[in-house]
Structure 1
Amino acid sequence: MDKINDFLSAMLPYTEWAMLILLIGGGLFLVFQSKFLPYRYFGHAIAITAGKHDSKEAKGDVSHLQALSAAVAATVGLGNISGVAIAIYMGGPGVVFWIWITALIGMCIKFYSCSLAIMFRGEDSNGRLQGGPMFYITQGIGKGAKPLAVFFSIAGLFGFLGVFTANQFTQTFMNVVDPNKNLALLGNFNWQLIVGISLAIITSFVIFGGLKKIAKVASAIVPFMVLLYFLAVLVVMFTNSEQIWPSLKLIVTEAFNFKTMAAGGFWGLVILGVRRAMFSNEAGLGSAPMYHGQSKTDEPIKEGLVAMLGPFIDTIVVCTLTAVVIILSGAYLEAESNGILMTLIAFKKSLFGYGDVLLMVIVSAFALSTLFTYSYYGVKCLSFLTNANIGKYYNWYFVLTIIFAAVASVDLVINLIDLAYALMVIPNMIAVLYLSPKVNAAAKSYFQKMKQSGT
């Protein structure tokens, strides 16, 4: 595993600068090209999500709200709980500022990419309506751009694995339950492997369609767990209210730490923020367009506006709450290992000694729901590369890698995902930038109609 990790680490520098230029540079280009349109119509986006502008005749499988909920459900979870902790562990509190900046730019990127997902929908080999980067690349740019779509799909076979979720859940279990100590009477087992196999079995029941009720239960539990997480964070912030402003101030001041700049680590800090923000909200990655491409709408701009709410919810709101708890508790000064341990320390210290147990319950629900839904992306990638009947076999590979991730180091898992994500960003953002004039034209037409109708 060390050799694999060394290879991934060596490859990352070659891709992260391309990712930085395309996400931040390309994203800023879209922000100014759109004349800040997505932000100006934030209220209208909320109204669309609420169903005020729905059309019964529109094609698609799910409502705007369902598509947004599915996309956010796939991102609100361990990326926001341990992903933020990893960022702070590696770059200090200042990295959160660059997570914010990337998320704000990401809102505009999602507006464009998810508008394109509706504008250029296609069909799989079974005739089912599909959307996503592979379709707006081949249909929007043309068949000559198919190698870009293939490149995206191959990277997606690795990027859409549930390895980070499985790894961080296992870390949580090992730290909170400590089975080697508290379950020693049961025998001397490899508990990480047991957790991995258990996760793989539970996930396989659901994604192979054997126990649909479990999936329904999970989807019902997750909103409750999100609410529980919010309440837990609010309790921590209320009981430490005097530390909220200093924590936010620290984030901003450390983002522009002159010592960091002088040491040559400033751009490293920015890149780290971009990586973790993309991991949190997936803007520019191309995954959300796959969900939003299924929406029941014939109006691309509507879906783009709905989609842009995703980065605001899961990064500006959720990641900020997590970061503030970690900073005000002082946990970022105590954690000795990379990963969710920092968040566990923060909750244990701040919630009367039982916060880590509560967080484990919440993480369990998030982990399972993410594993249930993430395989969907990978199936789409393999289906595009082959056909819909072969695509479903991705689930076997997905389940096996859960076991691998449970026993792997967090560094290996992070490097694998970071590299795959960077490789996916390249073809997706090239397509989004190339096709952006088509979105601008559609937006102009949409808002003219809106003014004429008086809505």
Structure 2
Amino acid sequence: MEIFERLIVDFSNWLWGMPLLILLLGGGLYFVIYSNFIPFKYFGHAIDVLRGKYDDPHDPGQINHYEALSTALAATVGMGNISGVAVAITTGGPGAIFWMWVSAIIGIATKFFTCTLAIMYRGKDTFGEIQGGPMYVITEGLGRKWRPLAVFFSVAGMIGVLPIFQANQFTQILRDVLLVPNGIEGSFKTNLITGFIITIVVSLVIFGGIKRIGKVAGKMVPMMVVLYFASVFYILLANFDAVPASFVLIFKDAFTGDAVLGGALGAIIIAGARRAAFSNEAGIGTAPMAHGAAKTVEPVREGLVAMLGPFIDTIVVCTLTALAILITGTWQDSESGGVTVTVNAFAQAIPVTGIYILMLCVTIFATTSFFSYSYYGTKCLSFIAGAKYKNLFNYFYVGSIVFGSTASLASIISLIDASYALMSIPTMISAILLSPKVKKEAKKYFKALESDKK
């Protein structure tokens, strides 16, 4: 088992080398410049769209703009913000947060392009249902001869969207907060029982399909964000004098790497980019599958809504988590890893109740992630094998929860990282090749928007 885990870790590290960074960060920078910074100029308009100002229930699609963003955020605003940030800091140092910010800012433009394309090139599954996502962008936008690339994305996607990381970290926090303090040592048996319980709860929702997922996510995402914000703001206000020093540490370590890795700047950038990809998924291809189901006939409008994701997820939520960890210094504990680092931060900053508040937040974060990821996997299988077989993925999906609850964090996170790396290749290649189509559509949309204002 140790040899197998080592192979997974090595394979993931090999994939996340300079070529992939050039594709993700370089490709994102290309989108920023090529679009003439359009995504950043229309933040206000994007918020109006999100509020439902332009919703039309008669438009083709399955869910509205808000539910599409909520479904995407339910997958991204999750354990990546609580546990993923801790992993970034413990493996890449405080400077990794800076590179997460850079990736997120560039990712705003990437999300705009990929999710605009998800509406422009929607296809139909074998049931005749309108679908979106990189696999349909590839086949409908680039042509049927590109189908092998679309299949490649779908196969990688079915592994990348498995909830094994969420299950692993949720099990870990239950062990740290509930079991160990009450004299119950964590073991394979307790992890297995936890995995079965999670499986039962998740199964009750995901077999209801995207419409139920959209409604559940739409209600839970605002609640989880507000609850988490309130608790972290309390930590920051109680330790306000330490906040400036934490920002200084992030910026200093981003270029020197003195805290960890012996000053290996490349390793810090990779650590930040990997965790940013896991956090907001810009360029990976999952969000276009959710936004591709939105009820709209305006591709650019959905692209604008989608681009809010990296800002909310990484710039705001991940930063709050990072500050809480840096202020309390729990990242320097070499014996802690993953969500335990964040648990220790909350326990130190909010005595007695802090760990229980965090556990409640983690429960909501993990639960909504469980719901959304299943939808992505069914779409991938549906594309490959046909819509009538799509629900078979859900059985594989819920079964993986038990595996995630009992496996090691190192192997789990490396497997997901590797899958995300493979998913990003077809997603970014197709988006770059079709970027002129997005630019043309954006010019037409914003010209009409300005005319309406007059």
Q: Name the TM-score, length of structure 1 as normaliser.
A: 0.94
Match of 2:397 in 1: 398
Match of 1:122 in 2: 123
Provide the rounded CA distance (Å) in 2 between the counterparts of 1:294 and 1:10: 36
Aligned: 1:433 with 2:432 = yes
Aligned amino acid, residue 14 of structure 2:
Y
Provide the rounded CA distance (Å) in 2 between the counterparts of 1:302 and 1:51: 11
Aligned: 1:175 with 2:176 = yes
Distance 1:272 1:180, change over 3 A: same
Aligned residue runs from structure 1 range 366-445, under 5 A: 366-445=365-444
Provide the rounded CA distance (Å) in 2 between the counterparts of 1:352 and 1:215: 36
Aligned: 1:83 with 2:84 = yes
Provide the rounded CA distance (Å) in 2 between the counterparts of 1:307 and 1:369: 18
Q: Which deviates more, 159-168 or 200-209?
A: 200-209
Deviation at 1:51, TM superposition (A): 2.3
Contact 1:206/1:215, CA 8 A, preserved across alignment: no
Query: 1:22-80: per-residue Cα shift (whole Å, max 9, x none)?
Result: 11011111111111110011111112212223345422222212211111121111110
Q: Which deviates more, 195-204 or 311-320?
A: 195-204
Aligned residue runs from structure 1 range 228-239, under 5 A: 228-239=227-238
Aligned: 1:159 with 2:160 = yes
Match of 1:344 in 2: 343
Match of 2:242 in 1: 243
Match of 2:322 in 1: 323
Deviation at 1:357, TM superposition (A): 1.6
Q: Name the TM-score, length of structure 2 as normaliser.
A: 0.95
Deviation at 1:10, TM superposition (A): 2.3
Deviation at 1:133, TM superposition (A): 0.3
Match of 1:23 in 2: 24
3-state SS of paired residue (2:16): helix
Match of 1:131 in 2: 132
3-state SS of paired residue (1:322): helix
Deviation at 1:372, TM superposition (A): 1.9
Deviation at 1:128, TM superposition (A): 0.7
Contact 1:375/1:395, CA 8 A, preserved across alignment: yes
Provide the rounded CA distance (Å) in 1 between the counterparts of 2:327 and 2:188: 37
Match of 2:14 in 1: 14
Provide the rounded CA distance (Å) in 2 between the counterparts of 1:335 and 1:298: 52
Provide the rounded CA distance (Å) in 1 between the counterparts of 2:122 and 2:187: 53
How many equivalent residue pairs? 452
Aligned residue runs from structure 1 range 262-341, under 5 A: 263=262, 265-334=264-333, 336-341=335-340
Q: Which deviates more, 252-261 or 342-351?
A: 252-261
Aligned amino acid, residue 82 of structure 1:
S
Match of 2:64 in 1: 63
Match of 2:224 in 1: 225
Aligned amino acid, residue 197 of structure 1:
F
Contact 1:165/1:371, CA 8 A, preserved across alignment: yes
Contact 2:12/2:415, CA 8 A, preserved across alignment: no
Distance 1:446 1:192, change over 3 A: same
Aligned structure 1 segments of 4 or more residues deviating by more than 4 angstroms: 212-219, 258-264
3-state SS of paired residue (2:294): coil
Query: 1:329-383: per-residue Cα shift (whole Å, max 9, x none)?
Result: 1111225132100000000000123211211121112212211221110010011
Query: 1:231-287: per-residue Cα shift (whole Å, max 9, x none)?
Result: 101111111111111111111111011658995621111011011001001100111
Contact 1:61/1:295, CA 8 A, preserved across alignment: yes
Contact 1:281/1:311, CA 8 A, preserved across alignment: yes
Deviation at 1:183, TM superposition (A): 4.4
Aligned amino acid, residue 170 of structure 1:
T
Q: Which deviates more, 113-122 or 345-354?
A: 345-354
Contact 1:161/1:375, CA 8 A, preserved across alignment: yes
Provide the rounded CA distance (Å) in 2 between the counterparts of 1:188 and 1:302: 49
Distance 1:250 1:442, change over 3 A: same
3-state SS of paired residue (1:256): helix
Provide the rounded CA distance (Å) in 2 between the counterparts of 1:442 and 1:298: 12
Provide the rounded CA distance (Å) in 2 between the counterparts of 1:333 and 1:431: 41
Contact 2:93/2:259, CA 8 A, preserved across alignment: no
Unaligned runs of at least 5 residues, structure 2? none
